[in-house]
Amino acid sequence: MTIRKILLASAALVCAAMPFSAQAETSGKKIALSNNYAGNSWRQAMLTSWDKVTKEAVKAGVVAAADSFTTAENQATEQAAQIQNMILEGYDAIVVNAASPTALNGAIKEACDAGIVVVSFDGIVTEPCAWRIAVDFKEMGRSQVEYLSKKIPNGGNLLEIRGLAGVFVDDEISAGIHEGVKQFPQFKIAGSVHGDWAQDVAQRAVAGILPSLPEIAAVVTQGGDGYGAAQAFEAAKRPIPTIVMGNREDELLWWKKQKDASGYETMSVSIAPGVSTLAFWVAQQILDGKDVKKDLVVPFLRIDQDNLEKNLESTEKGGVANAEYSLEDAQAVIAGK
């Protein structure tokens, strides 16, 4: 055996005995996050989770870099240019929260053709070469109406607050809500506005439509809009309907105050912002040679009347009820567990 072969064999034995974080398969790889929007608390929490988990991964030598980039405007053309820059900068994987399910497909395909792994999450893309991580957003919408059918069996008028127009998540949750209304026809959608997943935008939008609406039994939402809706109803001096919340701290705090004062009941549901960390680990595992199916589904995070206080206690002020993912969590999701 030559000296070279002896050294290579010794190195292989050392690597085999070391923990995963020290292995060489991805230690030199660079992963980037391409994010299209950061204008609400969910997106801020998503970026914070990414930064927290990926900094530890870089420090441990799992990857060489895990940089995050957010476009100034929620424009698919701007994000496509951002992804093209990432290709030129030599990233090995790009994790994408997309402005559009289809408008980025050209840039995504360019990345794939350059040998770059692309993992989309939350706002997923339809380009076949990319991986997708999403909750069942349709079910998230439908389940709101199912909850209301039990709380308000006689039904009534609903106000729908949607998210960012043209984004996959908005379309899917809205489709689920409308599917729920078909399933429970005692409800009727009396009005619909876009709240952009932001409390201030939602408050203005609801305030603008309220004068034209009949009595509202409940408000179905997408997250980041419940507290704004409540503020608009209060300002208009109209009865507060059942407002489905979206796991934001200000929503949960308002709900807690109403619950303590009058027994107010509702539920809250959203995707955990820490799903960005799952996308990171999935990209890392693909770079490490693991076989990962193209579509992965994670459960949404639901808060009910009996666990409101527990979830509020663990939610940062101004933040969102959250769950972050470890490498082991990602491996479990990949394995379908």
Range of the domain at 103: 14-135+272-300+321-334
105 and 212 belong to one structural domain: no
How confident is the model at residue 134, as a pLDDT? 86
Do both 81 and 116 map to the same domain?
Answer: yes
Is the Cα torsion angle 219, 222, 223, 225 positive or negative in sign?
Answer: negative
Q: Is the pLDDT confidence value at 136 over 50?
A: yes
Statement to judge: residues 131 and 278 lie in one domain: yes
| Domain identity same for 203 and 291 | no
Measure Cα distances from 328 to 53, 77, 192, 281, 331 in Å.
13, 36, 41, 9, 5
Q: In terms of domains, do 216 and 251 share one?
A: yes
* 3 state SS for 286-326: HHCCCCCCCEEECCCEEECHHHHHHHHHCCCCCCECCCCCC
Decide if 2 is inside a domain. Answer: no
What angle (nearest 5°) sits at the alpha carbon of residue 119, between those of residues 325 and 285? 60
Within a domain: 6: no
141 and 256 fall within a common domain = yes
Q: Which pTM was predicted?
A: 0.80
Q: 281 near 26, Cβ under 8 Å?
A: no
Instruction: Please report, to the nearest 10 degrees, the dihedral formed by the alpha carbons of residues 141, 143, 144, 148 taken in order.
Output: 150
Structural domain contains residue 71 = yes
Copy the structure tokens of residue 68.
């995050």
Top-ranked range on mean pLDDT: pick from 23-32, 69-78, 111-120, 308-317: 111-120
Q: What is the pLDDT of residues 66-96, one digit of tens each?
A: 999 999 888 999 999 999 999 999 999 999 9
- pLDDT at residue 166 in the model: 84
Q: Do 37 and 105 lie in a common domain?
A: yes
Judge if 253 and 145 occupy the same domain.
Answer: yes
Average pLDDT of the chain, as a whole number: 91
Q: Are residues 152 and 261 in the same domain?
A: yes
Domain contains 117 = yes
Tokens coding 175: 């489709």
- Indicate if the pLDDT at residue 261 is higher than 60: yes
- 264-276 pLDDT per residue, tens: 999 999 999 999 9
Whether residue 149 is contained in a domain is answered as: yes
What the block records as the tokens of 287 is 């770079």
Residues 149, 111 within the same domain: no
- pLDDT band (50, 70, 90) for residue 6: very low
| Number of domains into which the chain is organized | 2
Domain co-membership, 32 together with 98: yes
The verdict on residue 4 lying in a domain is no
State both tokens at 49: 């989770």
Residues 36 and 158 in one domain: no
**pLDDT for 43:** 92
* Beta-sheet pairing, 295-297 with 268-270: unpaired
The CATH number of residue 202's host domain is 3.40.50.2300
- Share of residues in the chain with pLDDT > 70 (%): 93
Classified as helix, coil or strand, 7 is helix
